Amino acid sequence: MKALFIGGIKSGKSRHAELFALRQAKKKPYYLATTEFFDDEMKERIEHHKKQRKKRFKTLEEPLKLAKAIKKCDDIVVIEDISMWINNMLYHGKEKKIEKEIEKLLRCKQDIVFVLNNVGESVVSDNVLVRRFCDLNGIVSQMIAKECDAVYNVVAGVTQRIK
């Protein structure tokens, strides 16, 4: 089973994805954190997520090799979040490996709950890197949604199943 929770920043998608995973878990679900923090504000965001999930998940941290990180997981995995992972891949010069890594993830036997920011409804940036990130985020969201059993759009803390 694969599910996607997509929504804007601070829409509530992570909280809803976590609750979904907790309901689906057979034992204790996994939480794969992808975010690398480079500044104090990002560190605060990470701390907020840690407090939100408490000790209800087994936490893994991996900024790049997601399929390898979940290979031995024996229960459902929340990947938080794919957009930050795309950012990491761009930052580390691994753009050409993005689609192949997503394909690997989608072939994994583990149940996965993907969390992804919807950045496609904003203005087109004047910055080439931001435009590339938005394009890749859109491509990846389509790849994941196509293969997921369920897709949920989260707006203002309200989740609506769209697939």
* Residues designated as active site: 49
Q: Which amino acid is at 14?
A: S
Query: With helix as H, strand as E and coil as C, how does the chain read?
Result: CEEEEEECCCCCHHHHHHHHHHHHCCCCCEEEECCCCCCHHHHHHHHHHHHHHCCCCEEEECCCCHHHHHCCCCCCEEEECHHHHHHHHHHCCCHHHHHHHHHHHHHCCCCEEEEEECCCCCCCCCCHHHHHHHHHHHHHHHHHHHHCCEEEEEECCEEEECC
